[in-house]
A and B are shown apart, each in its own frame.
Chain A
Amino acid sequence: MSAIPQTGSYLDSGYSLRSWLLTTDHKRIAWLFLLSLTLFFFLGGTAAALIRLELVTPTGDLVGQDTYNRLFSLHGIIMVWFFLVPSIPATLGNFLVPLMIGARDMAFPRLNLASWYLYIIGGLFTFATVISGGVDTGWTFYTPYSSMFSNTHVVLAIVGVFVVGFSSILTGLNIVVTVHRLRAPGMTWFRLPLFIWSTYATAVIMLLATPVLAMTLLLVALERLLGIGFFDPRLGGDPLLFQHLFWFYSHPAVYIMVLPGMGVVSELMAAFSKKAVFGYTYVAFSSIAIAFLGFLVWGHHMFTAGQSMYGSLAFGLLSFMVSVPSAIKVFNWTMTMRKGTLSFETPMLYALGFIGLFTIGGLTGLFLATMAIDVHVHDTYFVIAHFHYIMVGGMVTAYLGGLHYWWPKITGRLYSERWGQIAAVLMFFGFNLTFFPQFILGYLGMPRRYHSYPDEFQVLHVLSSAGAVVLAFAYLLPLCYLGWSLKYGRRAGSNPWGTTGLEWTTSSPPPKYNFEQIPRVDYGPYRYPIVSGTPPTETRHG
C-alpha cells in the first residue's frame, strides 16, 4: 500500500476553531475530550469541596438539606458519567489505540467525533439540570423515590445520562472494531501492549452494559412522566427489579472505571522498570476475565435490599472470584520491578501510588463482599471510602500518571519534573488524609448521604475535610504546570523516556496520519535489554 505524504504534526494541520470542532483525527478528538473532561472534573470537584465543607460541622449549617442532596447527586453523576467513565478510554485511549497498534486512525473517525458531540449534548442537559435547580436522587436513581417522590429535575438528568451513554457505546464500538481489524501487519494479539488489552476489555463492557442502563433510565422517565411504571409498587411493581437492572450496568461500569487505569499502570511499570511486564499473558487475560466476571456480581450491592438470601450467597461468592484477576495484576506489577532498572519520574510515582491505593480499595471491596460485614457497613462511609480509594486513589491517579507519561508525545513538550513530583506526592498524602478516616467512620456506623450527623463523628469528618483541601490544591497544580509547559516547556524528542512501543517511533507530536509507512511488527512489546551492572544511558529529561 502506498505511503502517505507527511504533512507535519497533527497540531499543525489547521488552527481554526472549525479544524478542531469538525476534526475526525483521533488525536484531536482526544484533545476535545481531554478539555471537556477536565471541566467536568472540576465541576464535580467543586461539588465535592462543598460536601466536605458542609460536613465539617454536625448540624448541617452551611447549606440546606435539599442543597446537600443535590450536591452529592450532582457530584456522583458528573464524576461517574462525565468524568471517570470516559476519562482514559476517550482521551488516552483515543490518542493511543491507533498509534499503539500501528494504524492511521480509528476504524470510524466520524463516529468518534459523534461520540464527543453526544458527550457534549449530554453535558448540556446536565448543565441544564444544575441551572434549573438540580436533581436529588443520588447517582443511583433508586425508584420509587426517583420516579414518584422526588420533585427535582430527574428527567432532565436522566436524559443527560442517557445521551452520554450512547457516547460511551460509540467509543466502545470504535475501539473494539479498531483493535480487531486495524492492527498493523505482524501485530498479533500477543504483541499488543497491555494498555490495548485493557482498553479492549473496557470497550466490550461499554458495549454490553450501557444499553441496559439506557433502557432502565428511560423506564424511570416514562414512569415519572406518563405514569406507565414498571417499578411502581402500587401496581404490583418491584423496585428491586430496577436495582437489578441498574447494577447490571453499574457494577460492570466500575470496571470501565478501573480497567483502563490498570492498562496505563502496566505500561508505566514496564517503562520505568525498563523491563518487560512480568507474566504478560496472565495480565492480558486477567483484563478479559474481569470484563466477563464483572457481569456476574452486581447483586453484591443488594445484600440488605431484600434480595433472596440464596441470591446474595451466589453474588457474594462470585464477587470473591472477580478479585482474582485483580490480584493477578497487583502481584505481576510488583514482580515487574524485580531486576528492573527503576527510576522515579512523575508517572512512576503515580503508578506506585496506584498499586498501593487500588490494593487497599480492592481489599476493602472484599470486606463488602463478605455479606455479614456488608449488612453493617452497607450505605455507610465505609463504602464511600472503598470506592474513592479505587476511583480516585486508583483511576484518577492512573489517569494523571498516563497523562504525564504521554504528555510529551501528545504535546511535543516536556513539563517540569520537579513540580510533577511535588504534585504527585501531595496528592497521595491529601488523598489518604481525606479518605482513610472514612473507613473508620463507616465501621462506626456513619451513614452516607447524611447532611447532618451525631456529634461524635465530627473529629473524623474534620480530618477528612482537611484532607480534601490538600487534595483540591494538589489537583490544581498539574493544571498549572501542564498548561505552562504547552507554551514554555522544552521540546520533547520522539522518545524522551527511552521506552518501547510503536507510539514512540513517531515524532512528538505525531504527524497527522501517524505513520508514513504502516509499520511491520515482528517482535513483542517491552523489548528492553537485560542490563548487568552498568546503568543504561541517560535518557530522562528535566
Chain B
Amino acid sequence: MAEDSLPIQFVAPAQRNEAVTLAMWLLLATEALMFGALFLSYLIYRLLFPQTFAAASAQLDSMLAALNTGVLLTSSLTIALAIQAVALRRRALALWLLAATVALGCSFLILKGYAWYTEYQHHLVPLRGFQTDYSALGSGAQMFFNLYFVMTGMHALHLSIGIAVVLVMMAYVAWSDRTAMVTRRVGLAGLYWHFVDIIWVFLFPLFYLVV
C-alpha cells in the first residue's frame, strides 16, 4: 500500500496524528461554546417561565424524540465500529458500517422533519409570516418555540454536515489505499459525529421532558 507523505512541518507520523487529534478536540471545544450560548439562553428563559415551558413541552411528541435519540445513539455505535474496521483494514465491513451511519443520520433528519411538520400543522412554528397560536400556553410560549426551533435547527444543520463528511469518508474507504490517512480522517469524522450526538442527548430532555 502506498503511504502518506509526511508534510514538511512534521518530523514523525505520530507527531502528526497527535497534532490532528488535538486540533479536532479544540474545534469541538469551540463548537461546545457555540452551542453553549444557546443552552444558556434556554436556561435563563426556563427560569423565567417555568410553567409555560412545561405546557409548551407537552405539545411536542416526546416518543418520537425518544426514538430519534435511540437512532442517534445507534449511529454512534456504527461509526465507532466503522473506525475500528478501517483500522483493521476490513474495507467491506467498514463501508457497510459507514453506510449504516449515514442511513441512521438520514432517518433522524426525516423523523425530525416529520416532527417539525406536525408542529407546523399545529401552528407552533414562530417564523415570520406563519400563522401561530400559542394562546393556550401562556406568556413566554413563543420564546420556548424560538429556542426549540433554533436549537434543533442548529443541531440538524450540524448533523447534515456530519452526514456529508461521512459520505466523503466512504469514498476514501472505498477508493484510497493510504490506510494511515484514511484511518486518521475517519477517526476525526467519528469525533465530530459523536459530538453532534452528545448535543442531542442534552436537547432531548431539555425540550421534550419538561415537567
A contact set with B: CB distance below 8 Å: 1, 4, 98, 103-109, 169, 173, 176-177, 180-182, 207-212, 214-216, 219, 222, 226-230, 235-238, 241, 244-245, 513, 518
Contact = CB atoms under 8 A, between A and B. Distances in A.
B15 A229 contact: no
Contact of B147 (A98, A104, A230): A230
A208 B30 contact: yes
The 9 closest A-B pairs by CB, nearest first: A227-B128, A211-B34, A105-B9, A215-B37, A181-B19, A211-B30, A211-B33, A228-B146, A236-B140
A207 B48 CA distance: 31
Given A106-B9, A210-B30, A222-B150, A241 B44 contact: yes
Given A222-B150, A230-B146, A208 B27 contact: no
Contacts of A237: 45, 143
B142 interface: yes
Given A228-B127, A228-B150, A230-B147, A513 B49 contact: no
A450 B127 CA distance: 36
Contacts of A219: 37, 41, 150
B15 A181 contact: yes
B31 A211 contact: yes
A245 B36 CA distance: 10
Contacts of A229: 146
A175 to B, nearest CB: 11
Interface of B: 7-12, 15, 18-19, 22-23, 26-27, 29-31, 33-38, 40-41, 44-45, 48-49, 126-128, 139-140, 142-143, 146-147, 149-150
Contacts of A106: 9
A169 to B, nearest CB: 6
Contacts of B23: 107-108, 173, 177
10 contacts: A1-B11, A104-B8, A173-B30, A181-B18, A182-B10, A211-B37, A222-B150, A235-B142, A236-B45, A518-B11
A183 to B, nearest CB: 10
Contact of A236 (B27, B35, B49): B49
A207 B139 contact: no
A518 B11 CA distance: 9
B33 A241 contact: no
Contact of A241 (B31, B41, B126): B41
Contact of A103 (B9, B27, B48): B9
Given A108-B23, A513-B8, 12 more contacts: A1-B11, A104-B9, A105-B8, A107-B10, A109-B9, A181-B15, A208-B29, A209-B33, A219-B37, A228-B149, A230-B41, A230-B150
Contact of B38 (A103, A176, A210, A215): A215
A230 B142 CA distance: 10
A212 B8 contact: no
Contacts of A238: 44, 48
Contacts of A211: 30-31, 33-34, 36-37
Contacts of A173: 23, 26-27, 30
A226 B149 CA distance: 12
Greatest chain A CB density within 10 A among B9, B29, B140 is at B9
A228 B9 contact: no
Contacts of B44: 238, 241
Which secondary structure dominates where chain A touches chain B? helix
A103 B48 CA distance: 53
Contacts of A208: 29-30, 33
B99 to A, nearest CB: 29
Contacts of B33: 208-209, 211-212
Nearest to B52: A236
Contacts of A105: 7-9
Contacts of A226: 127-128
B11 to A, nearest CB: 5
A180 B126 CA distance: 46
B37 A216 contact: yes
B8 A180 contact: no
A229 B127 CA distance: 10
Contacts of B29: 207-208
B48 A176 contact: no
B146 A176 contact: no
Contact of A235 (B9, B12, B146, B149): B146
Contact of B30 (A1, A108, A169): A169
A236 B143 contact: yes
B19 A182 contact: yes
A107 B38 contact: no
Contacts of B139: 236
A4 B8 contact: yes
Contacts of B48: 236, 238
A181 B22 contact: yes
B9 A107 contact: yes
Contacts of A244: 40
A212 B29 CA distance: 11
A227 B82 CA distance: 42
A177 B26 contact: yes
Contacts of A207: 26, 29-30
A235 B147 CA distance: 12
Nearest to A240: B44
B22 to A, nearest CB: 5
A189 to B, nearest CB: 16
A154 to B, nearest CB: 16
B128 to A, nearest CB: 4
B112 to A, nearest CB: 17
Contacts of B11: 1, 518
B49 to A, nearest CB: 7
B124 to A, nearest CB: 12
A256 to B, nearest CB: 14
Contacts of B34: 211-212, 214-215
A238 B46 CA distance: 13
A463 to B, nearest CB: 42
Nearest to A182: B9
Contacts of A1: 11-12
A212 B22 contact: no
B40 A245 contact: yes
A227 B127 contact: yes
Nearest to A222: B150
B46 to A, nearest CB: 12
A98 B9 contact: yes
